[in-house]
Each structure stands twice: as C-alpha cells, then as structure tokens.
C-alpha cells in the first residue's frame, strides 16, 4: 500500500486513529502495546468520543490516556454533543488537544503536512470551504471527518493524501456479507489512501458480530504509507 511522496523519503510519521468510542473505556494494555511498538506522532479521534449518558469522568479518562500517546486532534461525531459540547471542549482543551472545527492546521514536527477536519452533518455546521481555506500551504494533507459521505464532497475541491472516517461501525452486527453498513476498509486509489474504520465501541446494542472493533496505527513513510491494524 503506497502513497508516493519522494521529497523526503527517509522521514516517517506514525498516526494513531480511533473512532466511535461511545461508552467504552480505552484499554491501557492496547495503548501500552502501541507505545512499545513505535513512537506516535499524532493521535486522531474520528468522532463519537461519547454519547448521551456517558459519565464525564470516563470521557476525561479516555482523553487523558489517548493524549499520552502524542498530540491529539479531534472531530465531532453525530453523538458527541449529547454528552455536552462545552464539557467535551473543556476536557479536550485540558489535555492539550485540538478540536478541528471546520479548519486545517499544521502537524507538529512535520512542516510539509497539514491536518484538516470537518464538523459532522448532524450539526448542520459542515463548512468545507472553511476547512480547505488554507490547505494549499501544505504539500500533503490528512483529512478527517466522522461521516465518510463527506469524502466525495471534499474531493470536489481537493484531493487529500489520506482521508479518515468512522461512523458506520462496519454495520456492527453482520450476517456473513450482509449488514446495514459496509465493513470498514482501507483503500488506495491513485496514490491516495482512504480509511473507514469499524470503530472501537458500540452504540444502541453493546454487541458486535462480523464487524470486529478496531483502531489503527498508520505509518506514513515519506515515500509510501503502510496501514497496521490494532484490533481487540
């Protein structure tokens, strides 16, 4: 799986991506495994960090654990505001995280790379123009949105090097090839990559069948990109 970028072939960037945590507690053993395998350059939460009824103490503890891996970036999911928008903003700010409110910023330590993120369509606040306003200052861009349907809207104006989303849970409960949503997948198209994750937690029913929970370590070499799965 390759994403060409020959300008700095010896450099690399490691990204930890997790989405759809919902009610689940982050597994410390999983994080220890990730930390022991390599240095993480940035952590991306792809929305649905929480939902209605999740204690703020649990949200805070999950963010605390994730922020220990590296600089943290977050986009809103369709359920997050049920837990309290100001409360979530406060928690992420407390641990030095950055909420990507329809904007793009530089990635620390990687001057040629930027990261952009949109709000979720459920908020009726998606602003693609604002998200992409300063995107041309970066040679390569990671674009994050909770809902993968936004991918096509973004691509009408810009072609990010890597696009990340969750939301679908891979269908969460599947019978063979049948499910309410497609399984999560990694796709490489014309040197650009897209990842839709099955997500880490569950919603509505605390059950998964045929769509395993997952998070991801994506190692981007400045010459190729390799996806490594972190699954339960």
Instruction: Say what the pLDDT of residue 172 is.
Output: 80
- Contact between 40 and 15 (Cβ < 8 Å): yes
Sign of CA dihedral 104, 107, 110, 111: positive
d(CA 232, CA 230): 7
User: Which CATH code of 3.30.470.20, 3.60.21.10, 3.20.20.70, 3.40.190.10 fits the domain covering 6-231?
Assistant: 3.60.21.10
Q: What is the mean pLDDT of residues 5-9?
A: 48
Percent of the chain with pLDDT over 70: 91
Q: Name the CA radius of gyration of the chain, rounded.
A: 16
User: What are the strands, taking DSSP E only, across 93-184?
Assistant: 98-99, 103-107, 110-117, 140-144, 162-165
pLDDT, residue 212, reads 92
> Please, what is the Cα angle at 208 between 203 and 214, to 5 degrees?
85
Query: Assign residue 42 a region: left if phi > 0, alpha if psi is -120 to 50, beta otherwise?
Result: beta
- Highest mean pLDDT among 2-11, 67-76, 184-193 belongs to 67-76
Task: Check residue 70 and give its pLDDT.
Answer: 96
**Angle made by CA atoms 196, 34, 52, in degrees to the nearest 5:** 55
For residue 230, what pLDDT band results from cuts at 50, 70 and 90? low
Is the per-residue pLDDT at 2 higher than 70? no
Cα–Cα distance measured from residue 81 to residue 31, given in angstroms and rounded to the nearest whole number: 26
191: number of Cβ within 10 Å: 13
Domain ranges of the chain: 6-231
**Arithmetic mean of pLDDT, 19-23:** 97
In this prediction, residue 191 carries a pLDDT of 75
Residue 220 has pLDDT above 50, yes or no: yes
Confidence of residue 28 (pLDDT cuts 50, 70, 90): very high
């Amino acid at each position: 799986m390759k994403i060409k970028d020959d300008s700095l072939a010896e450099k690399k960037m490691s990204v930890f991506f997790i989405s759809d945590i919902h009610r689940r507690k982050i597994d410390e053993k999983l994080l220890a495994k990730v930390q022991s395998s390599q240095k993480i350059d940035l952590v991306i939460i792809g929305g649905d960090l929480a939902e209605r009824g999740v204690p703020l103490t649990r949200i805070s503890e999950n963010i605390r654990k994730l922020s220990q891996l590296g600089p943290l970036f977050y986009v809103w999911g369709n359920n997050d505001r049920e837990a309290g928008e100001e409360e979530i903003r406060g928690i992420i700010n407390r641990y030095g995280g950055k909420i990507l409110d329809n904007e793009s910023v530089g990635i620390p330590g990687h001057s040629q790379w930027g990261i952009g993120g949109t709000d979720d369509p459920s908020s009726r606040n998606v602003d693609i123009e604002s998200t992409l306003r300063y995107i041309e200052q970066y040679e390569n861009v990671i674009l994050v949105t909770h809902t993968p349907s936004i991918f096509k809207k973004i691509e009408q104006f810009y072609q990010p090097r890597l696009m990340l989303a969750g939301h679908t849970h891979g269908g969460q409960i599947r019978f063979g090839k049948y499910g309410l949503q497609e399984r999560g997948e990694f796709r490489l198209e014309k040197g650009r990559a897209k990842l839709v994750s099955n997500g880490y937690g569950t919603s509505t029913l605390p059950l998964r069948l045929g769509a395993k929970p997952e998070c991801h370590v994506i190692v981007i070499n400045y010459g190729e990109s390799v996806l490594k799965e972190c699954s339960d």
